Amino acid sequence: MKTLANKVALVTGSARGLGRAIAERYAALGASVVLNYYRDQAAADEVLRTVQALGVPAIAVQADMSRVADIERLFAEAQRAYGRLDIVVANAGVELVDLPATDFTEAQFDHLFSLNAKGTYFTLQQGARAVADNGRLLYVASSTTAFPAPGMAVYGGSKTPGRYLIDVLAKELGPRGITANSIIPYATAGAGIFTEGHSSVEYLIVANPMGRLATVADVANVAEFFASDLASFVSGQHLLVNGGANL
């Protein structure tokens, strides 16, 4: 069913991984899509072709989501193309793992916080300004924000502020019927550091009650729910997509 027909969705960091899966899911449900990429135009063009093959309008916009001017330009181009936005997904982010809290540098801190915290804040701010009444704001967080872990001080810390902003937006935008929610994925095969595998994969599989990593489809399923009419009264929530794991 084309449950998102006549809707427009903007997904940051959608040239690969979770962002790509969410954008393609929304397109399959009938939404027009605004893709975003940073450097890899070839990957973005591939996603653009896939989305357009589903029979929906789509554009791909290069923008560095750590730069406020680029974020503003992305939203302006989306508005010029479609005249409205109904769904905004703040997904763009960068990972840094296996780094003890005693060892990170100022440059590493600034790099992660400029995209994961600052970029998310200003993306959601632009989304709050642009999204239509009864629209949807989503933030793709990380399970490290729910379960602090060794080696994740900077990464988990940089992904935490977005969750707080979601709580605030749920309250501020509720009168307009707009929902704001977070998706908190487990380690996900085919996304981030797990795109090509990682030394911790076997441990994470064994530690999960379901005996596997998350998939990009698992996360897209939740993004579909939050974007749908079924979630019209679900806001300010942070949904773990982790198979019952405690890490």
In tens, the pLDDT along 63-110 reads: 999 999 999 999 999 999 999 999 999 999 999 999 999 999 999 999
Structure-block tokens of residue 58 = 């789509």
Structure-block tokens of residue 65 = 């989501």
- Given the residues 37, 82, 155, 186, the one annotated as active site: 155
- Determine contact, residues 239/227, Cβ cutoff 8 Å: no
Decide: pTM greater than 0.85.
Answer: yes
Give 244: exposed, middle or buried? Use CB within 10 Å, 0-12, 13-18, 19+: exposed
State the distance between the two ends of the chain, measured CA to CA, in whole angstroms.
Answer: 35
CATH class of 8-96+115-145+159-241: alpha beta
User: Would you call 37 a catalytic residue per the annotation?
Assistant: no
Structure-block tokens of residue 173 = 């935008």
Tens-digit pLDDT profile for residues 146-184: 999 999 999 999 999 999 999 999 999 999 999 999 999
